[in-house]
Amino acid sequence: MKKTSTLLTMGIIVFSALTQNLHAQKTDYSDFARAKQIITKQAPVASAKAIFMSEAFTTEIPATWTITNTGTTANAWVWDDGTNAGGTLDGTGFAFADSDAGGSGTTMDVTLTSPAANTSAASLVLLSFDFYYNNFSSDPDSFIVQVYNGTSWVTKYLKTGADTGAWSAPAHLELNVTAEKNAAMQVRFRYRSPWGMYMGLDNVVIMEPAANDVGMASIDLSSGLVGSIIPKATVQNFGTSSQTFDVTMTINPGGYTNTQTVTSLAAATTQQVSFSSWNATGGNYAVEVYTQLAGDGETSNDTMNSTVTIASMTNKAFGYIAYTTSASLVAGPVIIDLDAPSVVLQLAADAANFVSGGAWANNKWYGIVYTDNTLITLDTATGARTEIGPLGTGLNGISYNPLTATMYGVSSTGLYSVDMTTGTATLLGESGVAGSVFINLACNPLNGSLYTLDIVTDSLFKLDKATGVATLIGDIGTNAAYAQDAEFAIDGTFYLALYDGTTSPGGMLSVCDTTTALLSGNDLFGDGVSEMEICGFAIPYLQSSLNENSVRSSVFPNPASEFVVVDANANISIIEVVNINGQVVASQSVNDSHAVVNVKNLSAGTYILNIVTDNGVVSKKLQIQ
């Protein structure tokens, strides 16, 4: 298997004996998080005036197709029915190129070339095929599609980098190759990989479409928040003649329906259609979009269906996507609806080292950065990072105890305290669990108990806050692997942002029982099809509800317009004014139990006043008028 002798997890090398626990099937172990992307859509079907070539590789790679191997491994394009690959593109045989099987130090460079087809008389020539391209981390793999125009080979598609497609959900690509039409057109598929992963190819078709054929290319409406939404969809003219036609969208329940007219859509082109506004309320919806063209030569591509979830985000979490195959989401900070985890909203794209652990503290989102080993805060509106300082060691997770105003961190084996002003981590003690890889840390805000998950044994442990010694709770019953995190909600609900390494997709939100380690919920993140690893997990709550018993304070006047007077039963070290997006808009050092805070430069609205005292932190809502 590909590089399974090691698993790099937060800079800790896990030896080969552990890999069988993480995956029981062919896998691509990468550097903890994987930067991948999928561009798969429902494959539209065009009607054909003429089919010049059609090869589904159902039982073999025909002898009329030529296989050329210029690599350093004997492995080349082969026929497979899923036995070796571990999956298929459409349930039948396909052409398969497996660089992984070549072994370390080898390079696969193989080309699959079609027989010739006479396309010279066609007015429009389309080449289509399905494929799954699986790339390993930063390996310089490539997939090149070239068409012979009668005198030379012309590159029509080049794929490098991120994954594209998946088993049972291949990418479908359609290329206009009219410029290359000739009496002996050929197509060749080259896969080059220096001990990378693999790719599959299927359903190669060269055709001239019928004159009259329009249909759906995609539904461009995804899960989101309640409110006014402009639904969109993309239609395509699969034919050879310009077309004017209607397209209708329906959304149910609720009875939404709207029809728009597409005018003079040129052959072999697409157009995104915007429909009338939809007043979306919370719930799950079935969406259907269909085209209407009199005399349409192929009606099977006229209709497309999807489902969306609309959420209110009243119960939300912040997180960071370390890896996803989603077409609509990328690596970076996101907001997740805890009641509907299918709703994941992107705050920003972020190509920097990912945020591996997260915590909510003093009404702010804290995180630690993988490989950089720094403590940061993240803006809850934009995802922008503010560095606090270096940890001084590699930590996998952090969490905050609001009862004692203490931030903790966990490495693969030990518990640390973290200075929230400098970022410095100090070892409190080793867990005593041999060979552990603790991947996250969560503190119950109701009693201060600390919990962590060991991804080697898939076991939940409780950590002693003073010594770091671990007590086994139990096996969570799933195969935890790669980037993930955990956090408690204010009511004591323990959430795991899990990634199961043996299922596809593996990213899910689970609720964990801290007495038995049993999981419930297990709701997939996002669209339910794309892989998604979420870490940097933080569930927001108002700090004051936890510390009012240990810190008594008063804020007057409230509402305020120019100043507020703050009094506490303990020495106040600092007062912060935080807006509703979690941004600190004012800060004042105090060193007294009494303070006057100037707020006359603040815009009208609702703010949180964080009062940091020697007895803990208390937060108050502040209204500026």
DSSP states along 183-225: TTBEEEEEEEESS--EEEEEEEEEEEE-SS-EEEEEE----EE
The overall longest dimension of the chain from CA atoms, in Å, is 90
Find the helix or strand (DSSP H, E) in which 22 lies: helix 19-22
Distance CA 28, CA 458 (A): 20
Residue 399 has φ and ψ, to the nearest 5°, of -160, 160
Distance of alpha carbon 475 from alpha carbon 207, whole angstroms: 55
CB atoms within 10 A of CB 64: 11
For each of the domains in the chain, give its residue range(s) and CATH number, in order of start. Answer: 48-209 (2.60.120.200), 214-311 (2.60.40.10), 316-538 (2.120.10.80), 544-624 (2.60.40.3080)
Neighbour-count burial of 226, counting CB atoms closer than 10 A to its CB (0-12 exposed, 13-18 middle, 19+ buried): middle
596 φ/ψ angles, rounded to the nearest 5 degrees = -120, 125
The per-residue pLDDT for 312 is 77
Write down the pLDDT at residue 43: 47
The Cα–Cα gap between 485 and 591 comes to 36
> Tens digits of per-residue pLDDT, 211-245?
899 999 999 998 777 889 999 999 999 888 999 99
**Gap between the Cα atoms of 5 and 268, Å rounded:** 48
Question: In Å, how far are 63, 406, 437, 452, 455 from 461, measured between CA atoms?
Answer: 58, 20, 12, 5, 11
Sites in the chain below the pLDDT cut of 70: 1-48, 137-139, 542-552, 580-582, 616
Contact 286, 307 (CB under 8 A): yes
Tokens of 615: 């007895």
Q: First CA to last CA across the chain, in angstroms?
A: 64
How far is residue 439's CA from residue 436's CA, in Å, rounded to a whole number? 9
